[in-house]
């Protein structure tokens, strides 16, 4: 309220040449009453119902600038629809500015009584809802200049991960790693973690007071000792709880840094500048952090969400081609989880992606992250639907573990695991043989391995049996059907094996 939505929306519509809808005005026109009258007659519930109908009507129409009501986004289902189908911008101003603008609060039923106290408590109540947006833009100043800022961010590839006050935005674009200094401004001393292959990106970005930590490279160094190196360097430097740990590297650096951030001084902020395709499309999003133990990969960890993720495809030029291609396996997985449209888009772009073309790569990152964000938002702690993200990973992990660290890249194992999962889908009657072929053709065009029969041997199955997502004797297997149709079924390893192995 009073943040200037109507004025900024007017300027923005003019600037973009799009139609403008002022949601409150539209609701009043349709009801034939003022908002205070609607509240009086139908209560807040009645008003919110009218509001939801009006939002859905504009969402199914042509491109439009919409000035929402201040409370529109408090309806979670509606907010998520706005995030998925539109670009949602939160305009922000200090409380005093808002108070000045709303004056005595006349005509605003939610401010009845003491407007200052009501406004402050509404802001506190709604903080989690306002945090879930594509961008937060300060609305202090000239509406035309604010509209210009909104137009700029609205044109960017940004994917919100909507988790209430823990929300963040994954920003994807060339050169975006240089935004690091700006994104770190709300925090204290930075602890910048890299490995020998990614130091070259970290060092030019490091401010003079940064604590730089370079870890040993590779999965075999994803250990508690590596985490302890981050803890110790940070503590020796005397950081306090305002510190932020930033990972500038692949999934190994990201998982280790995230766990260090989750535990250092009982938890400090965390940021991600992923430098492998796998880290951009998968490991930097969702807040899973941790390290390996002798008993298996990722067996100790914590959930700790980053405050920002900056994906800069420019850094992928130094990534060995095989590592880049391996990251595409998670892109295929996400597309299959999402549905027909996403798989078709991937089929359209397959050769461009295999060559590493920037526009196709940005599109694939954006779509994959959007799928992961949607699933993580539904189930941040992996108690239900987040299990779907393990599609291809059960047999994949078995193959990866049996090959030993360094034998098979994670993404290559996932590619083979996706082939295995499709075979399970066929055995369970949820997928058709043509879908196995479609999956294999797509993986193959992207340059990923599909020669599952050659790679499977007896050594794989004990590792599948030890999968950490098992429940008693059964593993919870993510069974694919056609794109977008996914089920989780408890299966014995023998049943998985019978479905996957071709005699």
Ligand X SMILES: NC(=O)c1ccc[n+]([C@@H]2O[C@H](COP(=O)([O-])OP(=O)(O)OC[C@H]3O[C@@H](n4cnc5c(N)ncnc54)[C@H](O)[C@@H]3O)[C@@H](O)[C@H]2O)c1
x/- mask, ligand X, residues 403-422, rule CB under 6 A, reads -------x------------
Give Cα 231 to chain centroid, integer Å.
26
Least distance (Å) between residue 271 CB and ligand X: 15
Looking only at the bridges linking them, the beta strands covering 296-303 and 288-293 are antiparallel
The Cα–Cα gap between 34 and 36 comes to: 6
| Count of residues touching ligand X (by CB under 6 A) | 28
Nearer to ligand X, 18 or 303 (CB): 303
The verdict on 356 binding ligand X (CB under 6 A) reads no
DSSP-derived pairing of the beta strands 190-194 and 244-249: parallel
Question: Which residues 218-257 are close enough to bind ligand X by CB under 6 A?
Answer: 218-219, 222, 249-253, 255
Taking CB under 6 A as the rule, does residue 497 contact ligand X? Answer: no
Asked if 279 touches ligand X (CB under 6 A), the answer is yes
**Closest residue to ligand X using C-beta atoms:** 251
Piece of the chain touching ligand X by CB under 6 A; list 23-31, 42-50, 273-281, 440-448: 273-281
Instruction: Write out the binding residues for ligand X, residues 26-65 only, by CB under 6 A.
Output: none
Q: Which stretch binds ligand X (CB under 6 A): 7-15, 262-270, 316-324, 484-492?
A: 316-324
Phi (first) and psi of residue 187, to 5 degrees: -110, 175
275 binds ligand X (CB under 6 A): yes
Q: Does 286 bind ligand X (CB under 6 A)?
A: yes
Q: Which of 90, 167, 214, 283 binds ligand X (CB under 6 A)?
A: 283
For the beta carbon of residue 499, count every other beta carbon within 10 angstroms. Answer: 20
The pair of three-digit structure tokens given for residue 159, joined into one six-digit string: 């994917």
Query: Residue from 198, 305, 371, 394 that binds ligand X (CB under 6 A)?
Result: 198
Per DSSP, helices labelled H in 185-245 are 199-205, 224-236
First to last CA, the chain: 68
Other C-beta atoms within 10 Å of 330: how many?
29
Closest CA to 288 of 421, 208, 380: 380
Alpha helices in 139-210 (DSSP H): 143-154, 180-184, 199-205
d(CA 125, CA 145): 29
Which residue in 37, 121, 138, 318 binds ligand X (CB under 6 A)?
318
CA–CA dist 20, 275 (Å, integer): 40
Instruction: Convert 278-314 into a string of H (helix), E (strand) and C (coil).
Output: HHHHHHCCCCEEEEEECCEEEEEEEECCCCEEEECHH
Judged by beta carbon, residue 59 or residue 302, the one nearer ligand X is 302
Give the whole-angstrom CA distance, residue 231 versus residue 326: 31
Cβ nearer to ligand X, comparing 150 with 278: 278
5 lies in the binding site for ligand X (CB under 6 A): no
Residue 313 makes contact with ligand X by CB under 6 A? no
DSSP strand pairing (135-138 vs 89-92): parallel
Q: By C-beta, is 109 or 218 nearer to ligand X?
A: 218
Helix (H), strand (E) at residue 489: strand 486-492
Does the protein bind ligand X through residue 197 (CB under 6 A)? yes
The only residue of 319, 328, 416, 426 in contact with ligand X, by rule CB under 6 A = 319
**Which residue, 288 or 388, has its beta carbon nearer to ligand X?**
288
The CB density around residue 501, as the number of other CB atoms within 10 Å, is 15
Output 13 or 170, the one with its CB closest to ligand X.
170
Of residues 376 and 422, the one with the C-beta less far from ligand X: 376
- Interface segment toward ligand X; rule CB under 6 A; list 26-34, 227-235, 277-285, 479-487: 277-285
Closest contact distance (angstroms) between CB of 196 and ligand X is: 7
Least gap, CB of 294 to ligand X (angstroms): 15
Query: Using the rule CB under 6 A, is 139 a contact of ligand X?
Result: no
Q: Which residue has the tokens 């992250």?
A: 369
Give Cβ neighbours of residue 128 (< 8 Å, ≥ 6 apart): 164, 165, 167
From residue 365 to residue 404, what is the string marking binding to ligand X with x (rule CB under 6 A)? ----------------------------------------
Question: For residues 312 and 173, is the Cβ–Cβ distance under 8 A?
Answer: yes
* Residue 165 CB, nearest approach to ligand X (Å): 21
282 scored as a contact of ligand X (CB under 6 A)? yes
Instruction: Tell me if 271 contacts ligand X by CB under 6 A.
Output: no
Residue 315 interacts with ligand X (CB under 6 A)? Answer: yes
Question: In angstroms, what is the minimal distance from the CB of 248 to ligand X?
Answer: 9
Instruction: Using the structure block, give the residue that is written with the tokens 């500038």.
Output: 248
CA distance 188 to 397: 38
Q: How far is the CB of 203 from ligand X (least distance, A)?
A: 13
Min dist CB 316 to ligand X, Å, is 6
Rounded least distance, CB 249 to ligand X, Å:
6
Residue for token pair 């700029």? 152
Could you tell me where the DSSP H helices lie in 339-392? 340-355, 358-378
Judged by the rule CB under 6 A, the positions of this chain that interact with ligand X are: 195, 197-198, 217-219, 222, 249-253, 255, 275-276, 278-279, 282-283, 286, 288, 297-298, 315, 318-319, 323, 410
């Amino acid at each position: 309220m009073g943040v200037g939505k109507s004025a900024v929306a007017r300027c923005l519509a003019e600037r973009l040449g799009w139609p403008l809808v002022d949601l409150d005005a539209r609701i009043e026109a349709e009801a034939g009453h003022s908002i205070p009258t609607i509240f009086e007659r139908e209560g807040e519930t009645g008003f919110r119902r009218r509001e939801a109908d009006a939002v859905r009507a504009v969402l199914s129409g042509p491109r439009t600038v919409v000035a929402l009501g201040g409370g529109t986004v408090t309806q979670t289902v509606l907010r998520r629809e706005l995030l998925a189908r539109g670009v949602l911008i939160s305009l922000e101003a200090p409380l005093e500015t808002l108070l000045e603008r709303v004056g005595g609060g006349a005509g605003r039923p939610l401010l009845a009584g003491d407007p200052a106290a009501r406004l402050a408590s509404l802001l506190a109540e709604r903080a989690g809802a306002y945090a879930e947006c594509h961008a937060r833009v300060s609305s202090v100043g000239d509406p035309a200049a604010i509209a210009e800022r909104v137009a700029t961010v609205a044109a960017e590839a940004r994917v919100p991960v909507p988790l209430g006050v823990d929300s963040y935005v994954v920003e994807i674009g060339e050169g975006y790693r240089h935004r690091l200094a700006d994104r770190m401004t709300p925090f204290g001393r930075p602890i910048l973690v890299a490995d020998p292959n990614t130091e070259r990106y970290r060092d030019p970005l490091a401010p003079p007071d940064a604590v730089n930590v370079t870890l040993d490279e590779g999965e075999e160094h994803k250990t508690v000792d590596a985490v302890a190196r981050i803890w110790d360097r940070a503590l020796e430097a005397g950081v306090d709880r305002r510190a932020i740990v930033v990972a500038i590297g692949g999934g190994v650096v990201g998982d280790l840094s995230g766990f260090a951030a989750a535990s250092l001084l009982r938890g400090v902020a965390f940021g991600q500048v992923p430098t492998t395709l796998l880290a951009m499309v998968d490991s930097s999003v969702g807040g899973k952090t941790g390290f390996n133990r002798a008993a298996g990969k990722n067996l100790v960890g914590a959930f700790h969400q980053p405050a920002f993720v900056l994906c800069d495809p420019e850094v992928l030029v130094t990534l060995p081609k095989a590592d880049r291609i391996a990251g595409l396996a998670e892109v295929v997985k996400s597309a299959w989880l999402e549905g027909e449209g996403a798989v078709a888009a991937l089929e359209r772009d397959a050769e461009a992606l295999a060559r590493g073309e920037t526009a196709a790569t940005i599109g694939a990152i954006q779509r994959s992250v959007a799928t992961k964000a949607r699933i993580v938002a539904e189930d941040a702690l992996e108690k239900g639907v987040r299990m779907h993200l393990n599609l291809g990973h059960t047999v994949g992990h078995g193959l990866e573990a049996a090959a030993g660290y360094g034998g098979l890249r994670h993404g290559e194992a996932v590619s083979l695991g996706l082939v295995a999962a499709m075979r399970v889908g066929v055995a369970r009657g949820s997928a058709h043989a043509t879908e196995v072929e479609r999956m294999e053709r797509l993986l193959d065009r992207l340059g990923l391995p599909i020669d599952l029969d050659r790679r499977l041997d007896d050594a794989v199955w004990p590792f599948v049996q030890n999968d950490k997502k098992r429940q008693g004797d059964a593993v919870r297997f993510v069974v694919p059907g056609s794109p977008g149709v996914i089920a989780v079924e408890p299966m014995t390893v023998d049943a998985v094996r019978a479905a996957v192995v071709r005699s």
